[in-house]
Each structure stands twice: as structure tokens, then as C-alpha cells.
Structure 1
């Protein structure tokens, strides 16, 4: 992976494509896995003084048949179709880049179809269950106050868990009831935040100042801290939610992202405009937001009762 052409491709993903760190790591891992499959390390490569050039020659001669063989290899591993589709997307981007740079003439991925992925409805909470989860969080301790503030904020503004973990103190405008977040691809957006979330954040900050003596907090200081005073992690937020779900008696598993799904679903169920929800979620494509346009049985029955002439 030391060759400048491959390094240039990775730099292209990170800078020009504005991929998030997680997406970049996934693409890099996918590329390493693909190259290891089509160009296994051999004695020829080990003995070659300029093994980078040999690697490029091997990659440049990869055929569509070899790529299909790799996809067959992935299917044997029983990966989800979404994972296989992402890995193929990495390979496509890789060869498109090589064609653009003039390293190869023909793109071997041109006639390879992406696997059909099933359209799944995102997992979300009903309004009653969302309230049950949030209201069950005991906020009599600093930890409880933080947990209440974290999940009220995610549900109130539809944040990704990484966006919530990445919030700084100066990102909250209490007067305007707005929150500034850094989304995917380092794209900044400003979105409304509800009063219940603001109240929870205020209570947490007041307790935080007493606990850590941080009345004069500088810009860039994390808003949500772990018990050691550092920025809380996305994994910690997920673990905390698992515990809250158990404590409030909901016996199914959700992720913090499910609160984001719930935010979008509840807005649309209440008549919010699809494009407005797209802006709030920070989706580039409207089609990404459309997956939330599923409707509940109650809404279907209500529409039926109102509209059908012979109900």
C-alpha cells in the first residue's frame, strides 16, 4: 500500500470526497482486503526491489472475472448485502480513479452489477416508548444528568451519536434554541433544539461546574464528559442506552441511532415536510430521507376512516 498511486487514491477519499474518519477507515480496510485477494504476497513480490511497481502492475491487470470471483468469496463469508455493496463501491472508486489518472484504460467494474439490497425500515421507537425511555433516566446524580442531557439532545435534534459526542460547550445557543453540529464529511449544520433538551443540558452544565470547578470553560471544551472528565465516546453512549432500556423494562435492543430514526419518523408522522426533515438530518440525498416515510398502522386506519366512502 506504499505506492504513491494508491496513497493518492486514499488521499483523494479523505480530502476531495470529504469522507468521515469512520467511512475512510472502512474504505481503506475494504481496499486492503481486495488487494490481498487479487494480489497475494508472493516470493516474487518479496524479492522484487520495487515491489510497489509490481503491485501496481498486478492491480492494473485485474479482470472483471477476478472481481466477480472476489464477490463470490465475500458471499461465502455470508456478509450482508449492504456490506458487499459497500466493498464493491470501494473497488469501483479505486478503478475509476486509476482510469482518471491514465494508469489503466478500461474499468473492469464497468459491467459488474451491484447486489440488490433489501429495503428495510429503520428501527425506531413509538412516541410513548421514546418518552418512556427519556423519562426513566434518573437525573439525581451527575452521571444521570449527563445521560438525560445526551439522549434528550439526540432525540430533540435528530443527531447522529458521533455528532452528540462531538458537541462542544459553545455549540449550544440557548437564546435562539439552536445547536451547531459537525456532520459527515465535516459539513456543519445549525438545527433547532427543544426546550426539554436545553433544560437538561443546563442542569447538567450547572452540576458539571460544581463537580469539576469548570465555571470558565473555554471554547472547544467537550459538552458531554465521561466520569474522568474527558469527552464521552460513542461506544459509551451506546452502552448507557442498553442499560437504560433494561431499567425501563423495554426488552428489545436499540442503538442511539434509533433515537435519530425516531426523531425523523415522529416528525413525518406529524406532517413535517420531507425536505425540511432532510435538512435537519443533514442528508445529501432526499432518497436517504425517504426511508422514513413508512407510516404506522394507526395513521393508515385514520386515513381510511376519513376517506373511504363505505367504511
Structure 2
């Protein structure tokens, strides 16, 4: 019975990649979670149902970070739903109680820090930062961006789940792309190494190394966070920012409004005439 689920897990991963359009990174994450789960869990038949008891697996990962556990459970739930919907299996999952993880606010990078790093970057590095921060792209979206996706002041983005969105290009970014193409002569993809597109890991390495040289610890996703937060702080509508980011719902984007509210309160406390009076100790 367990071998049957192992075969089904391979079909499920192919389904995620070929039909749902998941990235290779996501597929690897799912593959690891399902392999670990099937190695540790109990699988047996009872009353016409396949029982999948993942309790031993939960004991195995109990010391993992809560977010890691949540991701693994999410992969398992998706797999079970696939078995029910696509394989028409009657399956009962045991030991899948969820864990609540508090949502942490993203940490945007100060604009001055980004400007500082841009001033010391070479052409490729400057374009990499400008694409992530100027357009709010995911690193996975940037890694597969083709030259043919850039045209007439717009850029076509191939996002999660094969969803596409069009983003307007700033004049300065259009000029930077044109200069980069003229000097580097990429053949098919914007960022290439040899005859292949640079993958997410290669682009991430360039970025983190660049910021680290200036004393900053920055990830590509932080630049995406910064793009959203800075737009909202400067008065952009949440619906527009949500569309630019490629979020399915505005609820995903609303976490940035919380961050903006914190910043606004801090600025208010600095700027209000009574701020100094209220913070002075009594004589």
C-alpha cells in the first residue's frame, strides 16, 4: 500500500510541474516533504478507506521550525486532495492537526541603502536590483524572463501557476535594459550564463554578495517587499499594488499596509508639536 502512495506521489509532482506550473524549487520542497512523510507514516486499509497516519512523521519533525512544519503539512494536504480528486481514492488522514504561525511583517530596505548599493554596482548588478526593486518581481520570475517579453514600454511576466501579468516599464529602467542588451548581447533570456538562463540561485548569489560587500544582509524577496511598501507609503492604491505583485487576492497584499501604519505612527510621534513635551520627564 505504501508503494502505491509513493508511485502516486511521483505522479502528483509531475502534475504540479506540468499542469499547475509550479517552479522547480517548489517541486523539490514538496518532494522532500512527501518522501519524509511516506518513510515515517503508517499506511493501511480500514473499512474501504486508505488510512494515512502521519503521527510518527509529526514526532520526527517536532523540533523543526513552526513555519517548516506548516509547509510540510500543506504539501501533504495538497497530496491527499490530489489522491481524492484525481485518483478517486477514499483516504483518511490522521495526525494532521495544523499549527498556527503568527504572520510576521516583511522588513523593507531603506531607499538610501538601495541607492548606496546601486552606486557601486556594475551594469549587470544594477539591472538585477532595478528589476527586482523597480518591478517587484519574484526571483523565479526574473530568472525565466525572455528578451521577447520586453516590448513597447511594457514587460510580460510569467508568474506562479502559469499566470501572466503586464507591467509598465519606467523610462530609466527601459534605458538600462537597452544599454545592457547592447553591451552584453544576451541571446534569448535577459540574464544568461553560456547558452542557458541564469537560475534563481545564481541570481540570488549575485545579489546577496553585492549587498553583503556594502554591509547589508538582503534577500531578493526583501526587494519585492520594499517595492510594495514604498509604493503604499507614497500613496499608491492597494488594489494597484496587488495587481503589480501578481497576488491572487488583496488580502495577501494587506500585510504591507500594516507595516505602513507602523511607519506612519512613528513619523507622527516624531513630527507632532506635543511629542517633545510628552516625552520630557517631569521636574
Q: TM-score range by the shorter chain?
A: 0.7 to 0.9
Aligned structure 1 segments of 4 or more residues deviating by more than 6 angstroms: none
Counterpart selection for 2:25 from 6, 17, 22: 22
C-alpha spacing 1:115/1:297, structure 2 compared with 1 (3 Å): closer
Give the Cα–Cα distance (whole angstroms) in 2 for the partners of residues 25 and 230 of structure 1: 21
Task: Work out whether residues 158 and 261 of structure 1, in 8 Å CA contact, stay in contact via their aligned partners in 2.
Answer: yes
Residue 62 of structure 1 corresponds to which residue in structure 2? Answer: 52
Give the Cα–Cα distance (whole angstroms) in 1 for the partners of residues 28 and 234 of structure 2: 38
Deviation at 1:280, TM superposition (A): 0.6
Residue 155 of structure 1 corresponds to which residue in structure 2? Answer: 133
In the alignment, does 2:59 pair up with 1:72?
Answer: yes
Note the 1:158-307 alignment, pairs <5 A.
Answer: 158-173=136-151, 175=152, 177-209=153-185, 221-226=188-193, 228=194, 230-247=196-213, 249=214, 251-293=215-257, 294-295=259-260, 299-303=264-268
In the alignment, does 2:72 pair up with 1:87?
Answer: yes
C-alpha spacing 1:242/1:102, structure 2 compared with 1 (3 Å): closer
Deviation at 1:232, TM superposition (A): 2.1
Three-state SS of the structure 2 residue aligned to 1:191 is strand
Deviation at 1:123, TM superposition (A): 2.8
Deviation at 1:275, TM superposition (A): 1.6
Higher strand share: 2
Deviation at 1:68, TM superposition (A): 3.2
Deviation at 1:112, TM superposition (A): 4.0
Residue ranges of structure 2 left out of the alignment (5+ in a row): 279-283
Give the Cα–Cα distance (whole angstroms) in 2 for the partners of residues 18 and 127 of structure 1: 34
Deviation at 1:229, TM superposition (A): 5.2
Deviation at 1:56, TM superposition (A): 7.4
Offset from partner CA, 1:50-90 (integer Å, 9 cap, x none): xxxxx775992333xxx233222211xx3221111111112
Residue 125 of structure 1 corresponds to which residue in structure 2? Answer: 109
Offset from partner CA, 1:25-54 (integer Å, 9 cap, x none): 221221111001125xxxxxxxxxxxxxxx
C-alpha spacing 1:206/1:85, structure 2 compared with 1 (3 Å): same
C-alpha spacing 1:121/1:35, structure 2 compared with 1 (3 Å): same
C-alpha spacing 1:56/1:28, structure 2 compared with 1 (3 Å): farther
Residue 281 of structure 2 corresponds to which residue in structure 1? Answer: none
Offset from partner CA, 1:146-186 (integer Å, 9 cap, x none): 2211211111111111211211111112x3x2111111112
Task: Work out whether residues 224 and 232 of structure 1, in 8 Å CA contact, stay in contact via their aligned partners in 2.
Answer: yes
Give the Cα–Cα distance (whole angstroms) in 1 for the partners of residues 102 and 3 of structure 2: 37
Give the Cα–Cα distance (whole angstroms) in 2 for the partners of residues 56 and 275 of structure 1: 48
Three-state SS of the structure 1 residue aligned to 2:197 is coil
Task: Work out whether residues 123 and 254 of structure 1, in 8 Å CA contact, stay in contact via their aligned partners in 2.
Answer: no
Deviation at 1:24, TM superposition (A): 2.4
Task: Work out whether residues 33 and 75 of structure 2, in 8 Å CA contact, stay in contact via their aligned partners in 1.
Answer: yes
Deviation at 1:286, TM superposition (A): 2.2
Task: Work out whether residues 20 and 186 of structure 1, in 8 Å CA contact, stay in contact via their aligned partners in 2.
Answer: no
